[in-house]
Structure 1
Amino acid sequence: MIRTAIIDDEPEAVEVLKRHASKLSKLSVQASFCIAEEALAYLSINPVDLLFLDINMPGYTGLELMRQLPYRPKVIFTTAYEQYALDGYEFEALDYLLKPISFEAFRRSFSRAEKALTTTAYASPVSEISFFVKDGKKTIKITYKDLRYIKACGNYVELHGENNRVITRTSISNLLQKLPDGRFVRIHNSYAINLDHINSIEDNHVTINEVRLPIGERYRNAFWELICYQMF
């Protein structure tokens, strides 16, 4: 099943895309939004495989929203203006759907996305329990359940376990794509955490292994929505 979100400032356009998606058994609409800022808050902690994303929106444009995401999903841009299509090359857009969008055009775009996502999954299988990173000359196995938090350090990240630290050349955004959905979330431009290892939350900081990590303003609302959802 391919998880998708639909983002368009026109409610009618959202409804059209949702109707089209409901006819495809392999496509699951996780959420839909008419306000880009709300979409960004949700997507920052609820990764999807594919976005149907309007380019020309008030506030954040579709392109600006993509630049803000902490990971890079596949994207099909939707637009009423043909001249915007070239702008999406930065994100390797799979397709551009020109409004009004017919079901047949939608189906063709989804087939392209399904093929791209299947190819990616086949080429880069991810273990359910661990992954490997380079630390200097060493290749080190990282177990998901032991990873406490991740810290950005320029062109590198520090992966902090209970009693160890591994440094590797990548970004938090790239690394989050290797990690299980829903357990690892970004809380700051410089930090992502494993929710299973939070000891406490106080004064917009989380404590993990006696280390206090800040919750950045950009990520705060989405983080608290997730925490409140899990509270008894």
Structure 2
Amino acid sequence: MYKFFLKRAVDFILSLSGIFVLALSMIVIAIAVKLDSPGPVLFRQKRVGIHKTYFNILKFRTMRTDTPHDAPTHLLQGATSYITKVGGFLRKTSLDELPQLFNILAGQMSVVGPRPALWNQYDLIKERDKYGANDIKPGLTGWAQIHGRDELGIDVKAKLDGDYVKMMSFFLDAKCFFCTIGVVAKADGIVEGGTNELKKRVKK
């Protein structure tokens, strides 16, 4: 019942409410992005949606316009050198993700679900197939995001996404939502330019 009907209703209400409440903040961010560096305010990128269909995810642009467009950040050499000044703040606070409220409103994403993979992240897509994690809508946040975010390896991330598919419920979504607020506030698990980089740094 929740998965097929109520979840979409919750997504619609939360995304619409979020757009109205955060409208002024998003306008201020848009102006800051435009003044900080040449290029569009929004960044659009082809991502994997439900049943491995494609959609264009929306984000506030955080990198220079000469950044390789379809390169996953964890595989991009010298990723930090491409990030703008405003972009660094937006990525650290996850405010760059706010335009995805419109993706949720349009039904392309959910508030909670596996983070949408790039169309060419074949390793992640393949791993998620093992757990049925490609057969639900991707989310603004998810079970994996509150358990490590960027520091997780592909296999671990896909397994956590699969665990979410099996346990999906209103209460789990609520837990993911509120835990995300704490994770974002502490900037936990954010790594630029390398999956598992936090673990590597700890070992050094």
Scaled by the length of structure 2, the TM-score of the pair is 0.28
Larger proportion of helix: 2
Structure number with greater CO (CA < 8 Å, separation at least 6) is 2
Higher Rg:
1
Scaled by the length of structure 1, the TM-score of the pair is 0.25
Larger proportion of strand: 1
